[in-house]
Amino acid sequence: MSEPITVTDAADPRLSDYTDLTDVELRRRREPAEGLFIAEGEKVIRRALAAGFRMRSMLLTAKWLGVMGDVIAETDAPVHLVEPALAEQVTGYHVHRGALASMERKPLPTAADVLDGARRVAVLEGLVDHTNLGAIFRSAAALGMDAVLLSPDCADPLYRRAVKTSMGAVFSVPYARLDPWPDSLAAVRAAGFELLALTPSGAEDFTVAKSHLLPRAALMLGAEGDGLTPKALAAADQRVRIPMAHGIDSLNVGAAAAIAFYAVNHG
Amino acid sequence: MSEPITVTDAADPRLSDYTDLTDVELRRRREPAEGLFIAEGEKVIRRALAAGFRMRSMLLTAKWLGVMGDVIAETDAPVHLVEPALAEQVTGYHVHRGALASMERKPLPTAADVLDGARRVAVLEGLVDHTNLGAIFRSAAALGMDAVLLSPDCADPLYRRAVKTSMGAVFSVPYARLDPWPDSLAAVRAAGFELLALTPSGAEDFTVAKSHLLPRAALMLGAEGDGLTPKALAAADQRVRIPMAHGIDSLNVGAAAAIAFYAVNHG
């Protein structure tokens, strides 16, 4: 049981986890370095806790005390009660969802850890857009992908916007970094996975590639715009494409991922 | 050939089409009422012109005169040259893409018009999010859907953000409003279409519904969050679901649309 502490000064060091949340560049560096991430809103906070993340502290306005009552009753983390204006002053935006939590990151598993026992994995290269990344995790969870592997230059799945867009799926779908890139793809292949690169220039239609019959499949997707790099394409076993209407060059990477995740599980 | 006119006053009535572009509520009312929409950036402007929309005027900064030279040479519409600061003052945001065009709307076709000769159509209910709407049009174009039908409360596909997210697909995929809703769905059925409602509570797996074998299929999708309304579900011929992993309640509507568009064309 934590007793809410009223805080009235934006410079209070107890609020430092929540400062400048709109400064993407700052937060992108700071959060992994300090081993924290921010969960925003009641649902996301509950999902993070359910997934076993430890809460460092919570920041909320009075109207959320009731809604979060059971969470407050069960935590030892400090709970900071602030006026809405102070919340905005600290974070830099109007906190619609009323409650924020600073959560402690867990050590990231290795690629070998997440591949163990997996049959269907996504491999993402250069996904720097947090909204796309979150959407892909959400689809991965819904469509039964076992894990996500990220190239070193992919964005952080625990960044606030990615967490929100994923509806908390970043907490439930195991993920790991593949480093060095793309050389460590060899370890994915060695674990028994066929590496399928999704690309509009793919030789084979995804519909006829029969990917759903593969015992283990790794679906490689590249960044919005450029797609997979030549070196990533070269490291793949097959290049497959989603059949598209005449004259259209590409799908949004989130749409392509959803179709690929569906097709690899259902043919 | 239009001779660029330098404009230096934000209150100049010749710039009135471009005022307050960030005021979503204002623009949402104003643009259809005045029969215009805004195309943003070189690619989108070119696609709008290629799709046969008439340009009312253009607003650009000096560095875009060269890039847009051929467009300027071929148009009789006035071309307004402004400093970047003035563009920001008029529109309310920093115009990264350098060129804006005010385009004239065409009369919207009727549902009967767009159904004529079509085999695969999407029916959207209550889609108020411009980003989701644009993404769905982009997927519809890429995956070979013939038309989109919109309930009266769907957002405007020609709103700036929807146009941008669609990558111009709102210009190439025919669309119409279905009004009254949902009674006018009877006309879709009368045109030979099987009405398939996509819903997590659907009785039948989309994978086994064999929708790709239907001569004419209309895929009904509801808004993010609530999904299709009970009255829309009641008007459908079949309720189908995309198979999802245990414990996950829904996909993002853009992801669901992409999968459904793919599956209805490829099984």
Q: What is the pLDDT of residue B1?
A: 73
Q: Do B243 and A265 touch (CB under 8 A)?
A: yes
Kindly state whether residues A128 and A78 are assigned to the same domain.
Answer: no
Distance CA A39, CA B186 (A): 46
Kindly state whether residues B125 and B191 are assigned to the same domain.
Answer: yes
**Which residues, at least 6 apart from B178, have a Cβ–Cβ distance to it below 8 Å?**
B111, B123, B149, B150, B151, B152, B184, B185, B187, B188
Q: What is the pLDDT of residue B93?
A: 87
Q: What is the pLDDT of residue A200?
A: 87
B234 dihedral zone (left: phi>0; alpha: psi -120 to 50; beta) = alpha
Q: Does A184 touch chain B (CB under 8 A)?
A: no
Is the pLDDT score of A1 beyond 80? no
Kindly state whether residues B125 and B214 are assigned to the same domain.
Answer: yes
Contacts of A171 in chain B (CB under 8 A): none
Q: Do A141 and B245 touch (CB under 8 A)?
A: yes
Kindly state whether residues A18 and A118 are assigned to the same domain.
Answer: no
- Could you say which of B138, B252, B259 has the minimum Cβ distance to residue A259? B259
Contacts of B143 in chain A (CB under 8 A): 242, 244-245, 251
Give the amino acid at B192: G
- Could you say which of B142, B243, B266 has the minimum Cβ distance to residue A245? B142
Q: What is the percentage of chain A residues whose pLDDT exceeds 70?
A: 98
Kindly state whether residues B260 and B153 are assigned to the same domain.
Answer: yes
Q: What is the pLDDT of residue A226?
A: 83
Q: Does B81 touch chain A (CB under 8 A)?
A: no
Kindly state whether residues A77 and A11 are assigned to the same domain.
Answer: yes
Kindly state whether residues A115 and A137 are assigned to the same domain.
Answer: yes
Q: Does B148 touch chain A (CB under 8 A)?
A: no
DSSP A78-111: -EEE--HHHHHHHHSS--TT-EEEEEEPPPPPPH
- The mean pLDDT value of chain B amounts to 93
Q: Do A258 and B263 touch (CB under 8 A)?
A: no
**Which residues, at least 6 apart from B50, have a Cβ–Cβ distance to it below 8 Å?**
B171
Q: Does A258 touch chain B (CB under 8 A)?
A: yes
Q: Do B255 and A258 touch (CB under 8 A)?
A: yes
Q: What is the pLDDT of residue A8?
A: 95
Q: What is the percentage of chain A residues whose pLDDT exceeds 90?
A: 83
Q: How many structural domains is chain A composed of?
A: 2
Cis peptide before B182 (omega within 30 of 0): yes
Kindly state whether residues A82 and A154 are assigned to the same domain.
Answer: no
ipTM, interface predicted TM-score of the complex: 0.90
Q: Per-residue pLDDT tens for A202-249?
A: 877 777 677 888 999 999 999 988 899 999 999 999 999 998 887 777
Q: Do B258 and A244 touch (CB under 8 A)?
A: no
Instruction: Select from B87, B104, B121 the last residue of a domain.
Output: B104
Kindly state whether residues A119 and A47 are assigned to the same domain.
Answer: no
Q: Do B135 and A245 touch (CB under 8 A)?
A: no
Q: What is the pLDDT of residue A129?
A: 94
Instruction: Select from A104, A135, A163 the last residue of a domain.
Output: A104
Give how far B143 is from chain A: nearest CA, Å: 5
Picking from B43, B83, B60, B47, the residue whose alpha carbon sits closest to that of residue B4 is B60
Kindly state whether residues A152 and A248 are assigned to the same domain.
Answer: yes
**Residue B161 belongs to a domain with what CATH number?**
3.40.1280.10
Kindly state whether residues A97 and A121 are assigned to the same domain.
Answer: no
Is the pLDDT score of A43 beyond 70? yes
Q: What is the pLDDT of residue A267?
A: 67
Is the pLDDT score of A194 beyond 70? yes
pLDDT < 70 stretches in chain B: 208, 267
Is the pLDDT score of A66 beyond 70? yes
Show which of residues 51-70 on chain A sit within 8 Å of chain B, judged by CB atoms.
Answer: none
Q: What is the percentage of chain B residues whose pLDDT exceeds 90?
A: 83
Q: Does A263 touch chain B (CB under 8 A)?
A: yes
Domain of residue B135 covers 111-266
Kindly state whether residues A18 and A43 are assigned to the same domain.
Answer: yes
Instruction: Select from A85, A104, A123 the last residue of a domain.
Output: A104
Give how far B163 is from chain A: nearest CA, Å: 14
- The single residue listed with the structure tokens 């593969």 is A214
